[in-house]
């Protein structure tokens, strides 16, 4: 099989059915409607610093493998922080940007980064992808190529192929066959169990009612409301309205069908007037917590909407894992275990590549020690 590479500067250049037939529809963030929706709504364009350059490997004109790929002019929205690297390039009199990034924009969720069609050998597709992307980077004089949040097996393969590997930490909840939230709490120590129950009761005591909506039950009104929450919360936290615009929520998310899950919190006396919400996406075995927003602050509401309702949903629907997103050590004492995340980095300049290799080795040692300490803070009984 002779695979040849083409690079798409828009997902409009490939049929949605062709893309989804290769990428599948289970991992929600790899679907054509999600990635092209980001592009259509103006979230991932050259103007926003996310220029699509998606890789398609073809055999005789037929697409056989796909990779999301972006030409980046900054490092925002990646959740693998390399600002110090950019400063090092600048001190060396070099340009770090633009760079190439294989990732799901604004989405620190581990998943496939090269999708291979049935009948295509992944053992042939990956070397072809590596060769093609490195040639593209060299032709255009790019500093580097970064693969963010690949699956562990892929991260190990890329490391063996010469890409430096970074290790990070997230906190995920795992469903160990729980029958109910109380069944999960029974695994916790008495003191932690009381704390978690108290946090849930605080939400009810403030007169709030939470509803969980699936897919088509989320209407235009709810998407509009959620965008407002998202915008307000980003403005309070970062001074801007966020990476994602109104059309992303009302058009792209609304087109994702049953994989979207929304939790809305409303006062009991005004059930049609939500004051906060959390948005998730799901696959066949994983719930992904993605966005949160509110227009009023309530004690413990963030924990209830973003974590406890997600646990409830996983138990009710038999999902194996709950990935609530990046960062957040407060998740540990609520039963979310530290798990490693990975990224891989190809550095064009042979003078700077060894420095990156040394950094990633030292960082991995600290990360492993941090995860061991985090394990000790989990709320579960020691017996």
Give ranges for CATH 3.40.630.30 in the chain: 4-171+339-375, 176-319
Residue 237 to residue 203: CA distance in whole angstroms: 22
Residue 121, pLDDT score = 87
Query: Residue 43: which residues within 8 A CB-CB, separation 6 or more?
Result: 50, 105, 106, 243, 244, 245, 248
Block means of pLDDT (10 residues each) for the chain, 383 residues, are 93 98 97 98 97 97 97 97 96 97 98 95 93 97 98 98 98 98 97 97 97 94 97 87 94 95 96 94 98 95 98 98 93 97 97 97 98 97 81
Judge contact between 36 and 12, C-beta under 8 A: yes
Angle, helices 16-23 vs 32-40, to 10°: value is 130
Which secondary-structure segment (H or E) carries 365?
Answer: helix 353-375
Dihedral of the alpha carbons of 162, 50, 64, 131, in degrees to the nearest 10: -30
Measured CA angle at 377 (ends 176, 184), to 5 deg:
25
Query: Residue 159: which residues within 8 A CB-CB, separation 6 or more?
Result: 165, 344
Residue 216, pLDDT score = 85
Per CATH, the homologous superfamily of domain 4-171+339-375 is: Gcn5-related N-acetyltransferase (GNAT) (3.40.630.30)
The CATH number of domain 176-319, selected from 3.40.630.30, 3.40.50.150, 3.90.1150.10, 3.30.70.1400: 3.40.630.30
The stretches of 141-280 forming alpha helices (DSSP H) are: 152-160, 181-185, 190-205, 220-238, 246-247
Residue 326 to residue 103: CA distance in whole angstroms: 15
Residue 294 to residue 277: CA distance in whole angstroms: 6
Residue 327, pLDDT score = 81
Residue 2, pLDDT score = 87
């Amino acid at each position: 099989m002779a695979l040849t590479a083409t690079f798409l500067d828009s997902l409009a250049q490939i049929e949605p059915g062709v893309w989804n037939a290769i990428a599948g529809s289970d991992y929600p963030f790899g679907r054509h409607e999600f990635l092209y929706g980001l592009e259509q709504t103006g979230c991932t364009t050259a103007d926003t610093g996310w220029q699509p350059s998606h890789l398609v490997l073809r055999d005789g004109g037929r697409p056989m493998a796909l990779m999301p790929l972006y030409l980046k002019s900054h490092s925002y929205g990646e959740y693998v922080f390399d600002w110090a690297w950019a400063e090092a390039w600048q001190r060396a009199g070099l340009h770090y940007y633009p760079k190439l990034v294989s990732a799901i924009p604004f989405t620190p969720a581990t998943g496939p980064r090269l999708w291979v069609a049935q009948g295509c050998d992944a053992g042939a597709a990956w070397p072809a992808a590596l060769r093609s992307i490195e040639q593209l980077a060299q032709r255009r004089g790019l500093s580097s190529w970064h693969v963010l949040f690949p699956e562990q097996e892929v991260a190990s393969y890329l490391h063996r192929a010469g890409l430096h590997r970074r290790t990070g930490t997230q906190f995920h909840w795992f469903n160990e066959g729980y029958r109910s939230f109380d069944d999960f709490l029974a695994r916790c120590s008495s003191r932690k169990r009381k704390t978690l129950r108290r946090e849930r009761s605080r939400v009810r005591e403030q007169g709030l009612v939470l509803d969980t909506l699936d897919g088509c039950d989320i209407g235009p009104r709810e998407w509009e409301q959620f965008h407002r929450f998202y915008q307000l919360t980003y403005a309070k936290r970062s001074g801007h309205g966020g990476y994602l615009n109104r059309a992303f929520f009302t058009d792209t998310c609304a087109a994702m069908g049953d994989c979207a899950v929304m939790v809305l919190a409303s006062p009991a006396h005004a059930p049609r007037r939500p004051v906060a919400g959390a948005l998730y996406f799901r696959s066949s075995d994983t719930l992904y917590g993605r966005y949160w927003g509110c227009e009023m602050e309530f004690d413990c509401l963030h924990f209830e909407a973003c974590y406890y309702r997600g646990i409830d949903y996983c138990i009710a629907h038999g999902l194996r894992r709950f990935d609530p997103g990046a960062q957040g050590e407060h998740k540990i004492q609520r039963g979310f275990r530290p798990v490693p995340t990975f990224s891989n980095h190809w550095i064009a300049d042979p003078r700077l590549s060894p420095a990156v290799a040394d950094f990633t080795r030292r960082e991995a040692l600290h990360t492993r020690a941090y995860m061991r300490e985090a394990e000790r803070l989990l709320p579960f009984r020691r017996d």
